[in-house]
């Protein structure tokens, strides 16, 4: 075979592999149900207390994600935890976790928990971002 | 004297070789299994039973090959309950081979068999390659107060 043809074919194959890795639609984490369930009584949480939540999900690859949890209050205030590395087991599961509401008066009112995650595939070549939200709950004094 | 056609052919083949070398180096960068650190599994815990509100100590043994700072997060797993603990940066010293860590067990945690997951993330080639390492501690029991 002609050397130029061989080079072209290798180049096209490697390029196609890279393009498919970057653009092929992959979904690693799917929430089962519409929203994350809030487990606190009457969906009411006191400031300084923890909001307990439950999420059912389907996860394809057992890889950790960068996770940022935040709370968006109706009055416009927004508080976010520092980004952490976290992982839930792969497969279809239900997990329970908590988020501590800061002890400040700005945090009163109706709110929801927002969980943002970022999965890294192929050693950083591809990132998958996602966002899930909880049911509404109320923060009281 | 070489003809225009031959010159073009030469340039094209040089460009092709450069592109292939570039793509192969990208492959090596993204897919070579770099071992930044070996975490010896599982990390030893100081006590087999702990009460909510108490601290648990554990020793993480490791063998770090490259002097790159890491982001470390810890996650307490009790059944299907997860508690995440904020991240620390650059805690594993390349000159040492073990670190003693401590975790405060939350007061409102359920009781039962538990373990701590440790995640370390390294960023190589100015952030282009991400290497994640995940290890667990031995299992311990959270007993009621």
Q: Is the ipTM of this complex over 0.85?
A: no
Residues of B in contact with A122 (CB under 8 A): 30-31
Using a CB-CB cut-off of 8 Å, the residues of chain A touching B82 are 86, 88, 95-97
The predicted-structure confidence for B15-58, as pLDDT tens digits, reads as follows 888 888 888 888 888 888 888 898 877 889 998 999 999 999 99
Percent with pLDDT over 90 in chain A:
48
Query: Same structural domain for residues B42 and B28?
Result: no
Is residue B1 pLDDT above 60, yes or no? Answer: no
> What topology does CATH give the domain A25-140?
Immunoglobulin-like (2.60.40)
pTM tops 0.80: yes
Strands A44-46 and A137-140: parallel
Q: How many domains does chain B have?
A: 2
Mean of pLDDT values over B117-121: 91
Kindly state whether residues B82 and B67 are assigned to the same domain.
yes
Q: Chain centroid to CA B8: how far? A: 48
Q: How far away is chain B from the Cα of A11, in angstroms, using its nearest Cα?
A: 6
- With contacts defined as CB-CB under 8 Å, which chain A residues touch B109? none
Distance CA B18, CA B63 (A): 37
Chain A nearest-CA distance from B109, in A, is 10
d(CA A102, CA B38): 37
The pLDDT value given to residue B50: 92
Residue B143 near residue B47 (C-beta atoms within 8 A): no
Could you tell me if B98 and B69 lie in one domain? yes
Closest in B108, B129, B134 to A124, CB measured: B129
Ramachandran quadrant class, A109 (left: phi over 0; alpha: psi -120 to 50; beta: rest): left
Contact across the interface for A3 and B119, Cβ inside 8 Å: no
Beta-carbon contacts below 8 Å between A and B:
87
Locate tokens 């994640």: which residue?
B132
Contact yes or no for B83 and A98 at CB 8 A:
yes
Query: What residues does each domain of chain A span?
Result: 25-140
Instruction: Print the domain residue range for B28.
Output: 1-32
């Amino acid at each position: 075979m002609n050397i130029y043809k061989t080079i072209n074919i290798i180049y096209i194959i490697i390029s196609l592999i890279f393009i498919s890795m970057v653009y092929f639609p992959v979904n690693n984490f799917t929430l089962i149900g519409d929203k994350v369930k809030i487990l606190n009584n009457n969906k009411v949480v006191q400031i300084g207390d923890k909001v307990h939540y439950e999420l059912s999900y389907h996860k394809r690859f057992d890889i950790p994600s960068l996770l940022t949890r935040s709370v968006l209050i109706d009055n416009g205030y927004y508080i976010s935890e520092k980004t952490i590395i976290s992982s839930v087991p792969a497969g279809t599961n239900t997990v329970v976790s908590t988020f501590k509401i800061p002890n400040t008066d700005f945090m009163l009112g109706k709110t929801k928990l927002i969980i943002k995650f970022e999965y890294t595939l192929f050693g950083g070549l591809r990132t998958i971002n996602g966002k899930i939200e909880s049911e509404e709950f109320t923060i009281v004094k | 004297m070489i003809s225009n056609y031959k010159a073009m052919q030469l340039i094209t083949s040089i460009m092709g070789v450069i592109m292939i070398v570039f793509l192969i180096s990208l492959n090596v960068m993204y897919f070579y299994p770099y071992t930044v650190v070996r975490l010896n599994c599982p990390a030893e815990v100081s006590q087999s039973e702990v009460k909510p509100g108490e601290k648990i100590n554990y020793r993480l043994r490791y063998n770090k090959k490259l002097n790159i700072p890491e982001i470390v997060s810890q996650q307490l797993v009790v059944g299907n309950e997860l508690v995440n603990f904020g991240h620390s940066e650059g805690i594993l010293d390349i000159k040492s081979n073990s670190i003693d860590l401590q975790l405060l067990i939350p007061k409102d945690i359920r009781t039962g068999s538990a373990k701590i997951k440790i995640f370390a993330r390294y960023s190589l080639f100015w952030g282009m390659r991400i290497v994640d390492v995940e290890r667990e501690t031995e299992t311990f029991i959270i007993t009621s107060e």
